[in-house]
Structure 1
Amino acid sequence: MEGRNDEVKEHDTLLGKLTKAHAPDLIDAFSIGAGTAAEILVTVGDNPEWKQIVTDFGVSV
C-alpha cells in the first residue's frame, strides 16, 4: 500500500506543477488545490464563454 501512496503523492506533485505553470492565477486567486484547479481547466477547455466568466472573476486561464 505504501507504494500506491508514493505514486499518488508523485502524481499530486506533478499535477500541481502543471497547473501552476498553465494557470498560476487560478490557484493564487482562490487558494484552491491543484486538483480543483485542474478540474476547472478541463471544464473551461477552449470554450471562450467559460473563459470570459472565469476572467470576470479576475483569473486568467
Structure 2
Amino acid sequence: MRVPRKHIEQLKAGALSGRQDGADGPAVVKLGTWLGNARNRAAKLPEQRRADLDELGMRW
C-alpha cells in the first residue's frame, strides 16, 4: 500500500455503513492520512487489526 499522504478517495453512496454523521450520500475518505496515522500508531493497534492490514499488503 503505497498511498501518498494527501490521497483522498470518494466512495459511492452507501459504501460506508454506520457513518458517524448519519448521511447516506457519497463519502470522502482521506485514505493517505488514515494510513499514515495507522503506521504511526502501529504499536497501539489491536493484533487482529495489524494482521488484517498485513494481509492487505500494508507497508509499515
For the aligned pair, the TM-score class normalised by the smaller chain equals 0.3 to 0.5
The alignment's TM-score, normalised by the length of structure 2, stands at 0.35
The alignment's TM-score, normalised by the length of structure 1, stands at 0.35
Q: Which has the higher contact order (CA 8 A, sep 6+)?
A: 2
Query: Where is the strand percentage greater, Structure 1 or Structure 2?
Result: 2
Query: Where is the helix percentage greater, Structure 1 or Structure 2?
Result: 1
